Structure 1
Amino acid sequence: MTSFEALLPSTERALLHRVAVAQAEGRSPSFAAGVVRDGETVWFGSRSCVDGHAPEAETQYRIGSITKVFTAVLVMRLRDEGLLSLEDPLEKHLKDTGVGEVTIAQLLGHSAGLAAETPSPWWERTPGTVRPLLTDVLGERPQPHPAGRLHHYSNPGYTLLGSLVEALRGRSWAEALRIEILEPLGLRRTTVQPVAPHAGGFAVHPWADVMLPEPAQDLGIMAPAGQLWSTVGDLCRFAAFLAEGDDRVLSRASVEEMRVPAAPSAAGDGESGYGLGLQLLRKDGRTLIGHTGSLPGFVACLWVSVDDGLATVALANATSGPLTALVAADLLRIVAEAEPRIPEPWRPLPAAEVDHELLALTGPWYWGTYAYGLRVGPARGVTLEPLRGVGRRASFRALPEGGWVGLDGYYAGETLRVVRRADGSVSHLDLGSFVFTREPYEPGDAVPGGVDEAGWRGL
């Protein structure tokens, strides 16, 4: 992918203008943001109400629930090492929680039916010592909804996942985080406790231009749900990882799996969704993945558009007011529209990769009278897509034993295979019992229900 050292000056000014408006209209003591393009941080900007003291790229802010993405990565690492299955009930690895029948996948995707918050007092504004045990976090009615039925965001659910990491690793969540994610990715300014330079958190009076410091509590057992402090620089590096993966931490395939919707959207969420630890959002015609975050005194957001090769981070130190999720999406849109991604040049396959038997399968196929086209992709993968109108398009990955498995859409997980006649010639394609033939309702082909002997006719 062609990359550039810096953005165009006009693009940089548009980005700075958006951050300046966000800081002014959001009435935030400071606002900091960054842009990643093709894995490299290409822009940083900030505004502050203190002249000459604007935050820098390595100034820490509290990032709240963006912490959950880090916790989810730790759980996915356990899965990839074979220490657990996402379909395992929690009680297989963590005993006596009272909600042991929920699965790890349900916890990751907030579909376990758990309560959104802990019992009183409010966990974000009280020290973690108030609730030292999981039973203190879950309370007397930990599961107000049936497991697996709907998406219901749950902070206690990620506390359970943090405790799961500790149980299987034999070390604290914070230590596992440092060893397994922060050090390999070089996130030296992402910490459990604030390390100078860091912003102070403030509540801004809704009806007057005055501020009140917010307490920065150590969340204790709730830390996996929202404890972390980080910087624009570190979160930009983390965003690059979420776009491409990093085998030192989590493979590209596993990171891609985290982006797949894991549960239905909650009522009223519009085009939003949730994967395995990642929020999903359709905005401005593109799919954004990442997470928002807030704790008293701070709001934060990280968005990645994989198709555009872009990511943005927005951080502010006010309890409410700055719309970091909207600003981060706007920053991404500004760059995508002003400097659209330049595609790789088309190149033919190397001669050694040309599969003439596979080439013979390309072109039109018919499911009944619906016309589809089969196209060969990299690594012997194929795509099947309608030639006109609306239909079920899908990409398929080649299987070692032959055939292909669907990667997306209606056919995700379904098997596409070639069915041959006794003489070895191709009869048809079978896709989960759907028969695709070279001609629509060709006599003698394997058409379900057969073909009328009189054939095609007019009125």
Structure 2
Amino acid sequence: MKALDRLVRETQAQARIPALSAAVHRADRPLWTHSVGAAPDAAFRIGSVTKTFTAVLVMRARDAGLLDLDDPIGRHLDVSAHGELTVRRLLSHTSGIQREPYGDVWDTLVAPDAVTLVADLERVERVLPPARRFHYSNLGVALLGLAVGRLRGGTWGEVLAAEVLGPLGLTGTSVARPENATTGYLVDAYSDAARPEPPLDFGAVGPAAQLWSTAADMAKWAAFLADPAAVDPAGAVLAPATLDEMRWPATTTDQGLWAVGFGLGLILVPRGDRVVHVGHDGAMPGFLAGVYGRPRALTGQPGPAGFGAAVLGASGTALETVDLPHKLLDAAAEQDPAEIEPWTPGEPAPEAYRSVLGRWWSEGFEQVFSWHDGALRSRGAADPAGRPPAVFRPSTDNPDILRTVSGREVGELLRLTRAADGRVVRMHWATYRLTRDQQTFEGHSFTA
């Protein structure tokens, strides 16, 4: 798309980025890529976008029963201090552990090996109480990467290649610097000079920031984080329900400005009107990266499946790089929207639930129950069009007891009460009574 090409060129020129590569992945269109100053398949450092891969490895281990998110890290890693910090807190950056490993890594440019990193934990501070607030920590994610490697019987890089990169076909992503690597630069603030930044191997802190990748690979990765069913339909890497768990905001990153949230290893960026972008930014000397996808489930509206964007830049100071993927997703959705799927007739509601359909009242408010896509649903009569409905599934042993599986009151029960002729005449949802007419809590009706 010419509009997307222009966004990339404007960003490269205005932010003075020596090399810039961008891609948009969506299931209903061919891959779009555009590069300035670099080959389309050039590899860049992606910095902290690496953390999203480590987070997926942690959740895979959880789903395999190898750990629990509330386990202390010391249960899975022989540490000399801070072993009580939980996997969940480390993954959501709410553990309170200091940002970097002990020492001045960014002065020496020498990262510790695994033995040194663990031994130096005795000198590491807990700068905040656990669960107090968001505090970003490369050290915390490094510990998670070491734990995953130990649980799987290999290094973090070996486990990553076997469990994620290989199954998803991310052939342009690597731990080591590849042959097609781009040089990263510091661009002078007061002239057009650009000075190459030194390469840095992050050693045992690699699970937090080590990877190299291409824009095409990262756009596909962003689409996976947003819509795994479209990118990995067999669920070989991670179940969609687990990605949904990771996307739930655990904390906000700024108490005074609720503009960015953080889930389990993922950054959440609201874009208005129930649109949220999920992914991560990354920085290493001479490089910046932004990798984000747009989950359809959060919009309440039909949109592109498998929709993700990535922008990789060879300048360590051009923050426009990390804003550009959001602009690309917005522009692609607006100027080239997904096709509208035609409505087709479906199956009617089963006889057992037909008397549930229609309008009910609870707490003085009107609810509308309907049957769509093989499930009972409920929406507030005054809900805006974009708000997703509550969806119910019957229990296996009693069809008159249903579980709320998504939407409002998720997890709670809906209980049906029937008259002698089998009609549903009253319901209780999360213990609140629903009746066909508006009633007080004492059961007084206001119908004529």
Q: CA-to-partner distance for each residue in 1:276-335, whole Å, 9 max, x for gaps?
A: 111111125421111111111100011111223231110101111241221111111111
* Aligned-residue offset at 1:85: 1.7
Residue of structure 2 in register with 1:365 after alignment: 360
Structure 2 residue matching 1:429: 3-state secondary structure: strand
Residue of structure 1 in register with 2:266 after alignment: 278
Stretch of structure 1 that moved more, 250-259 or 406-415: 406-415
Mapping 1:128-277, distance limit 5 Å: 128-129=111-112, 132-135=115-118, 138=121, 140-242=123-225, 243-245=227-229, 246=232, 247-277=235-265
Structure 1 residue matching 2:367: 3-state secondary structure: strand
* Aligned-residue offset at 1:196: 1.4
Q: CA-to-partner distance for each residue in 1:334-370, whole Å, 9 max, x for gaps?
A: 111111222322122247xx41222321211111321
Residue of structure 2 in register with 1:444 after alignment: none
- AA at the equivalent of 1:372: Q
Mapping 1:91-110, distance limit 5 Å: 91-110=74-93
Pair 1:55-2:53 in alignment: no
Mapping 1:60-459, distance limit 5 Å: 60-123=43-106, 126-129=109-112, 132-135=115-118, 138=121, 140-242=123-225, 243-245=227-229, 246=232, 247-285=235-273, 286-307=275-296, 308-309=303-304, 310-350=307-347, 354-387=349-382, 394-401=389-396, 402=399, 403-407=401-405, 411-420=409-418, 424-441=422-439, 448=441, 450-452=442-444, 456=446
* Aligned-residue offset at 1:102: 2.5
Question: Which of 3, 20, 40 is the equivalent residue of 2:9?
Answer: 20
Structure 1 residue matching 2:277: 3-state secondary structure: strand
> Does the 8 Å CA contact 2:102/2:117 hold for their aligned counterparts?
no
* Aligned-residue offset at 1:262: 2.0
- AA at the equivalent of 1:290: G
**Structure-2 change in CA distance of 1:434 and 1:179 (3 Å):** same
Q: CA-to-partner distance for each residue in 1:135-179, whole Å, 9 max, x for gaps?
A: 466463432222123222221111111011012111100000000
* Aligned-residue offset at 1:40: 5.3
Output the TM-score relative to the length of structure 1: 0.86
> Does the 8 Å CA contact 1:60/1:199 hold for their aligned counterparts?
yes
CA distance in 2, matches of 1:118, 1:264: 24
Q: CA-to-partner distance for each residue in 1:68-114, whole Å, 9 max, x for gaps?
A: 11101111111111112222222222233522222222222212222
> Does the 8 Å CA contact 2:289/2:312 hold for their aligned counterparts?
yes
- AA at the equivalent of 1:244: P
- AA at the equivalent of 1:258: M
Residue of structure 2 in register with 1:30 after alignment: 19
- AA at the equivalent of 1:179: A
* Aligned-residue offset at 1:408: 5.0
CA distance in 2, matches of 1:59, 1:195: 9
- AA at the equivalent of 2:36: R
> Does the 8 Å CA contact 2:355/2:423 hold for their aligned counterparts?
no
CA distance in 1, matches of 2:120, 2:257: 26
**Structure-2 change in CA distance of 1:124 and 1:35 (3 Å):** farther
**Structure-2 change in CA distance of 1:145 and 1:415 (3 Å):** farther
Q: Percent identity?
A: 33
